[in-house]
Amino acid sequence: MENQEDLQRIGDLVALFWNAELEVKEAESSLKTAKETLREISEEYIPELFDEMGIREIKAMVELHGKSIPVTINVKEAYYPSIKDVPAFHQWLREQGAADIIKNEVKVAFGKGQDKDAAILMSDLVIRGLTPEQKEGIHSSTLKSFIKSEIEKGTAIPDSCAVHIKPQTKIKKG
C-alpha cells in the first residue's frame, strides 16, 4: 500500500506534468501567432507597400539592435497550381510540347506468396529493354505493431532493426 509521502510525490509529478503540458500548448499557440504575423508581413504588408511605391526590389540599410544591416528586399510571386482535371491538363501539356515533365510510373502490387511472379515480371521487363525499379517496404505502423508483438512474446529482435523503447505517460483530467 502506498504511503502518504509516495502519494504526495505522485501528486507533485502530476502537477509538473500538467504545467509542462500547459506550457507546450501556450508555446504552440504563440508559435502559431508568430507564424501568422510573419506570413502577413511577408505576403501582405511588404508587397502592398512595394506596390504603392511601384517597386519589386530595394536595397537598403536597416537598423536592428543598434546596428545597421544591409538588406535586399524583393517581392516575387509564388505559384501553387492545383490540377483539377488531370487527363485534360496532361493532354494540354502534350500539345504544348511539355510531355517530358509528366512522370509515368507503372506499379504492380504483388501479394503474399507471389515473389516468384514478381521476379518473372522484373526479368521480362529487363528483356524488353526497360529498367524496372522494384521497391519493397513495410508500412511504419505495421512494423511498429509487429515489433511490439514480438518483444511482448520475448522474441529477440535482430541487430538489423534498431528498436528504441521509451516510457510515455498520459494523464487525463477529470
Supply the DSSP symbol for 136.
-
Instruction: Find the helix or strand (DSSP H, E) in which 40 lies.
Output: helix 4-40
| Grid coordinates belonging to 82 | 492545383
Query: How many Å apart are CA 126 and CA 132, to the nearest integer?
Result: 7
Supply the DSSP symbol for 114.
-
Supply the DSSP symbol for 156.
P
pTM, two decimal places: 0.57
Q: Per-residue pLDDT tens, the chain, 174 aa: give them.
A: 578 999 999 999 999 999 999 999 999 999 999 999 998 998 888 888 888 999 888 888 888 788 888 888 888 777 776 678 888 888 888 888 888 888 877 788 888 889 999 999 989 999 999 888 877 677 888 888 888 888 888 888 877 888 887 767 677 765
